[in-house]
Amino acid sequence: MPLNPWITLFSFLAIILPLLNPFVAFAVNQQGEALLLWKQSLNGPTEALSNWNPTDETPCGWLGITCNINKEVVELELRYLSLYGTVPTNLSSLVSLTKVVLSSTNLTGSVPREIAILHELNYLDLSDNALIGEIPSEICNLLKLQEIYLDSNQLEGSIPVQIGNLTSLKWLTLYDNQLNGEIPNTIGNLKNLQVIRVGKNKNLKGLIPREIRNCTELTQLGLAETSVSGQIPLEICNLLKLQEINFFSSQLEGSIPAQIGNLTSLKWLTLNDNQLNGEIPNTIGNLKNLQVIRVGQNKNLGGLIPREIGNCTELTILGLAKTSVWGFLPPSLGHLKKLKTIFAYTTLLSGQIPPELGDCTALQDIYLQNNSLTGSIPKEISGCRNLTYLLLNSNLINGKVPGELSHLVSLHFVNFSDNLIEGTLPFPVLPLHMVFFSISSNNFSGEIPSSICNLNFIKYLDFSHNHFSMIPPCLGNMSDYLIDLDLGNNNFQGTIPKFVKCNNLRSLKLTGNQLEGPMPHSLVNCKKLEILDFANNKVNDTFPHWLVNLPELQVLSLRSNNFHGSIGNHKTKFSFPNLRIIDLSHNMFHGHLPSNFFKYLTAMMNGNMDEGGLQYMGDDYYYDSVTIDIKGNYINVEKIQTLLTIIDISNNSFKGEIPKVIGNLGLLKGLNFSHNNLMGHIPISFRNLTNLECLDLSSNKLTGNIPIQLTDLTSLEILNLSKNHLVGLIPQGKQFNTFTSASYSGNLGLCGFPLTKTCGNDEGQQPPPAPTIQEDDFGFANGFHWKVVLLGYGCGFMFGLCMGYLVFSSEKPKYLLNIVYGEQRNKVRRLKNNAHGRIN
Ligand SMILES: *[C@@H]1O[C@H](CO)[C@@H](O)[C@H](O)[C@H]1NC(C)=O
Ligand SMILES: *[C@@H]1O[C@H](CO)[C@@H](O)[C@H](O)[C@H]1NC(C)=O
Ligand SMILES: *[C@@H]1O[C@H](CO)[C@@H](O)[C@H](O)[C@H]1NC(C)=O
Ligand SMILES: *[C@@H]1O[C@H](CO)[C@@H](O)[C@H](O)[C@H]1NC(C)=O
Ligand SMILES: *[C@@H]1O[C@H](CO)[C@@H](O)[C@H](O)[C@H]1NC(C)=O
Ligand SMILES: *[C@@H]1O[C@H](CO)[C@@H](O)[C@H](O)[C@H]1NC(C)=O
Ligand SMILES: *[C@@H]1O[C@H](CO)[C@@H](O)[C@H](O)[C@H]1NC(C)=O
Ligand SMILES: *[C@@H]1O[C@H](CO)[C@@H](O)[C@H](O)[C@H]1NC(C)=O
Ligand SMILES: *[C@@H]1O[C@H](CO)[C@@H](O)[C@H](O)[C@H]1NC(C)=O
Ligand SMILES: *[C@@H]1O[C@H](CO)[C@@H](O)[C@H](O)[C@H]1NC(C)=O
Ligand SMILES: *[C@@H]1O[C@H](CO)[C@@H](O)[C@H](O)[C@H]1NC(C)=O
Ligand SMILES: *[C@@H]1O[C@H](CO)[C@@H](O)[C@H](O)[C@H]1NC(C)=O
């Protein structure tokens, strides 16, 4: 039977025409046609929507399309695709739609008003796109809507008041947008509402409307990270089906209503980071289903921790940090067999850690630092078999560390720093998975057990500020993961151990001991060393030239030891490309200062500063109290700003001239050559040290004039040229008007302001111009009583010697998270700018 040529031609055309020009001919029905037109408007769907075939009779078999029995499209459901287009607007053929899901599909544009013609719609999910504009009020005409998901977009404007018309609505999620205005009280009409989540809209403000009392079906109420203010309305306590209340990081004030205890279905209560006051009501003991309670960061929330909390036996997280709760930790906590995490740092808690805490067998994280806890660490804690984080630092804990802690095999992170703990470290075997272990600033004594060397995963080890006396020789051969080792300020004697395994060691601090002998050459194995601090010991050695093999070295302090000999001559190779802080002061070095020593300090030269803002040394192990529940974020207190560049070779016996090349170190902030036997002139090249804030050349044998060019050093805050043989007129103007006579004393040949001695010509006798810099409350213009609060490094180096603020002394360091230097610097800047008549 011959084929009908017409039929053949027709089928051929039916296939080929749409492919040639899909606008011309669709075989598919009108709904399919509308969908295809939308597909054509997209920029990204080629692969994803490949089965949207124009030759199909209906779109019913297409990806993401569901039809009813009449072959009408009722559902359009696409997720996790890169469609790169807009929400369809030409919906006239698709009015049967009951469900539209286009979430995580990279859509842009706005929520189209045209959606209002989808009268059958009961489910709309456009979440996680890049939609902008307002929520069209027309959406509120869709009276069958039950679920609306518009979260995680960039929607603006306010929540339409007409939302109250959607009386069928059960779910409303609008979080993570840029909505503003207030929550309309018409939500009181939404009697079927089960979930409302409007958090993470930081401009959403106003009160929580009391009309919410009508939403008796509500199970989830999310208003976190908004600017919603006022009190927690009592009406909420009537919503007996509530399971989750998320109000964290908003502006709520007033107290937590006692009636909250009526919400016996409640599982989550997060009220942290508000301005709540009063006390935690003891009615929370009624909340038998409560899993999470977080009320931290409400600094006026006080009172005792109610012992009834022990009745919340489902509790896994208890968050009380940064509140004013006081008194004891209630022993009833021991009933909480599911408790995993206690955040109770920085409160007013006192008394002993209850031994009952050891009954919380599921406990993983104990954050009790920065309180006034006393007594010793109860050995019962070892009952918390899964304990991982144990932070008890900055308390008044005394006694000895119970040996039972070694049973805690999961323990990773221990900070007992800044307490009154004494005795030896008792562990026969320390928990082997330890990563961070700090017991600094206590009263430990005796030997460090050599079992410490078995900690195969240890990265941070801090024994500083104790009375330990023996370094186990194996210490140089421990975990190759070790990053920071601080043994500073103890009574360690003997020689420094050999370092063999130290591939990741970044910082080695041995400061303030009685270590003697030479510096171990084995340190050349530690290729990642950035900080090497041997200050205040009895190391007897010549200058360690072999350090040039440590390319990452940034901080080198050999201060106050028995180093001797010359540091090298013009043939010596000094390659310290990253060194920014050099302290050789208080030793017995002698000989000339070779130019070469300064020639390759490239990190101190202009053009090598990261202009992108302040950087801190070390890895980014910061501990942000706001995002406290992100594990593994350790505090790194000793932030050393990488902008600090300092050379201190004071109190040695260096002789000869000051090398001119120092003028190339344009990033230098501090230079201290005082108390040596340096001769010759102050190099004019110093004019190029435009970042210099502190210059001390005192107690040398310098001759000649003070170069007038030094008046270009507009950053200079501290100048000490006293006790030299300088002569002539002291340069006048700019910064120089701020220095007092103390800067020049003991130079018999100097004259002019601020000295009383005149120069014998008119110039020098002129009274100085009125000071352009007003002394402010930092006493700055007066020079030397600028208070710098110093910590760890920065300190000793920053202005330490220039100003007589030695900090490596025996005093317990005060740990501060904020490096004050940064703040001071800004103040100085401001001062300086004002002096130039500028305002910033
Ligand atoms: C809307 O889609 C229909 C087909 O469903 C089409 O005929 C009409 O031209 C489209 N209108 C616009 C403005 O694109
Ligand atoms: C959306 O686009 C971004 C950038 O093009 C892409 O990284 C992301 O994976 C896309 N998202 C989805 C769900 O395809
Ligand atoms: C919709 O809500 C507005 C404002 O709440 C109200 O004035 C209007 O009468 C409502 N319309 C319908 C149809 O319910
Ligand atoms: C709350 O419900 C009551 C009783 O059902 C009703 O009278 C009142 O109008 C409702 N309030 C709002 C704001 O819808
Ligand atoms: C709600 O709590 C208050 C105070 O805790 C209590 O007096 C009251 O009886 C409770 N109401 C209901 C309905 O449980
Ligand atoms: C609740 O806690 C209190 C105080 O801890 C206790 O006396 C009481 O028995 C507990 N009630 C229940 C029902 O567990
Ligand atoms: C420790 O607590 C005090 C007040 O109790 C507070 O000022 C300080 O910021 C806290 N320190 C840290 C590191 O949180
Ligand atoms: C300890 O952790 C393990 C693994 O997560 C878990 O199976 C076990 O139940 C936990 N122990 C307790 C007492 O919670
Ligand atoms: C430290 O321990 C010693 C004994 O080892 C003791 O004499 C001294 O009082 C303790 N210091 C403090 C501050 O507890
Ligand atoms: C340093 O060591 C040498 C011998 O190695 C010795 O002669 C000298 O006395 C020592 N210096 C000090 C200050 O201990
Ligand atoms: C350890 O405790 C000290 C003293 O409170 C604190 O300064 C330091 O930041 C803590 N370190 C970590 C990583 O928790
Ligand atoms: C100082 O810097 C200028 C340019 O910034 C340069 O021309 C000059 O040679 C430098 N002077 C000295 C002494 O290094």
User: In 407-495, where does DSSP find H-type helix?
Assistant: none
Indicate the DSSP class of residue 824. Answer: H
Q: Looking at ligand 1, which atom is closest to the CA of residue 93?
A: 5
Q: Can you read off the two tokens belonging to residue 514? A: 């009685």
When pLDDT is averaged across residues 686-691 and rounded to a whole number, the result is 94
- Mean pLDDT of the chain, nearest integer: 84
Report DSSP letters for 46-82, one per residue: TTTTTT--TTSS-GGGSTTEEE-TTS-EEEEEEES--
**Residue 811, pLDDT above cutoff 80:** no
Ligand that comes closest to the CA of residue 346: 7
- The pLDDT score that the predictor gives to residue 643 is 62
Instruction: Among the bound ligands, name the one nearest to the CA of residue 605.
Output: 12
Q: Residue 814: pLDDT band by 50, 70, 90 thresholds?
A: very low
CA-proximal residue: ligand 4, atom 11 (nearest) = 188
| Rounded to 5°, angle at Cα 760 from 757 and 765 | 65
Question: Residue 525: is its pLDDT beyond 50?
Answer: yes
Going from the Cα of 558 to the center of ligand 9, the distance in angstroms, rounded, reads 30
Which atom of ligand 7 approaches the CA of 346 most closely?
Answer: 2
Ligand 12 contact via 683 beta carbon (within 6 Å):
no
Those residues whose C-beta lies under 8 Å from the C-beta of residue 283, and which sit 6 or more positions away, are 258, 259, 260, 261, 262, 308
- Residue with the smallest CA separation from ligand 3 atom 12 is 165
Q: pLDDT value at position 608?
A: 57
At residue 817, does pLDDT exceed 60? no
Pocket test for ligand 9, best of 397, 442, 443, 466 (most atoms within 8 A of CB): 443
Rounded to 5, what percent of the chain is helix, strand, coil? 20, 20, 55
Closest atom of ligand 6 to CA, residue 330: 5
* 108 C-beta closer than 6 A to ligand 2: no
User: 490-524, pLDDT tens digit by residue?
Assistant: 999 999 988 888 999 999 999 999 999 999 999 99
pLDDT of 127 higher than 90: yes
- Mutate-to-test residue for ligand 1 from 23, 33, 37, highest number of ligand atoms within 8 A of CB: 37
Query: For position 761, what pLDDT does the model report?
Result: 64
Listed range (276-285, 470-479, 688-697) with the worst mean pLDDT: 470-479
pLDDT, position 825: 29
Pairing of strands 73-79, 65-67: antiparallel
Q: Quick one: average pLDDT of 309-328?
A: 98
Best probe residue, ligand 3, of 138, 145, 162, 166 (max atoms within 8 Å of C-beta): 162
Q: What does the pLDDT read at residue 831?
A: 28
Q: Does residue 749 surpass a pLDDT of 50?
A: yes
Question: 372-381, 643-652, 710-719, 806-815 — which one is most confidently predicted on average?
Answer: 372-381
For residue 132, give both structure tokens. 């902008």
Query: What digits encode the pLDDT tens for the residues 55-84?
Result: 999 999 999 999 999 999 999 999 999 999
15 has a pLDDT exceeding 80: no
Which domains does the chain possess? 566-821 (3.80.10.10)
Residue 415 three-state SS: strand
Give me the mean pLDDT over the 301-330 stretch.
Answer: 98
Ligand 4 binding pocket includes 235 (Cβ within 6 Å): no
Tell me 368's DSSP state.
-
Least confident of 224-233, 600-609, 618-627, 766-775: 618-627
pLDDT for the residue numbered 416: 97
Longest CA–CA span in the chain (Å) reads 130
Q: What is the mean pLDDT of residues 186-207?
A: 97
| One-letter amino acid for residue 733 of the chain | G
Of 311, 313, 336, 337, the one to substitute when testing ligand 6's pocket (max ligand atoms within 8 A of C-beta) is 311
The Cα–Cα gap between 750 and 747 comes to 6
> Minimum-distance ligand to the CA of 538?
10
Report in angstroms the alpha-carbon separations of 102 from 65, 105, 111, 200, 359: 12, 6, 11, 21, 49
- What average pLDDT score do residues 272-294 get? 97
Tokens 């939302």 -> residue: 163
**CA-CA distance, 148 to 138, in Å (whole number)?**
13
Please name the residues in contact with 380: beta carbons below 8 A apart, sequence gap of 6 or more: 355, 356, 357, 358, 359
pLDDT band for position 797 (cuts 50, 70, 90):
very low
Give the pair of three-digit tokens for residue 515: 């270590």
Query: Which ligand is closest to the CA of 623, given by its number?
Result: 11
**Token pair for 329:** 């930790």
Q: Is the CB of 29 under 6 A from ligand 2?
A: no
Helices and strands (H, E) in the chain, number of each type: 7, 49
Cα–Cα distance between 751 and 755 in angstroms, integer? 6
Say yes or no to pLDDT of 20 above 70. Answer: no
Q: Distance from the CA of 157 to the center of ligand 3, in angstroms?
A: 19
Nearest CA to ligand 9 atom 7: 443
pLDDT digits (tens, 9 = 90+) for 485-496: 999 999 999 999
Q: Give CA 693 to chain center in angstroms.
A: 28
Query: What gap in Å lies between CA 92 and CA 602, rounded to an integer?
Result: 69
Mutate to test the pocket of ligand 4, among 193, 213, 214, 238 (most ligand atoms within 8 A of CB): 214
In this prediction, residue 431 has a pLDDT band, given cuts at 50, 70 and 90, of confident
Percent of the chain with pLDDT over 90: 74
Q: Whose CA is nearest to atom 2 of ligand 2?
A: 106
pLDDT at 473: 85
The residue whose CA has the least distance to atom 14 of ligand 6 is 311
526 token code pair: 């530690």
Report which protein residue has its CA nearest ligand 1's atom 12: 90
d(CA 277, CA 300): 5
Q: Which residues contact 701 (CB under 8 A, 6 or more apart)?
A: 677, 678, 679, 724, 725
pLDDT tens digits, 140-169: 999 999 999 999 999 999 999 999 999 999
pTM of the model: 0.83
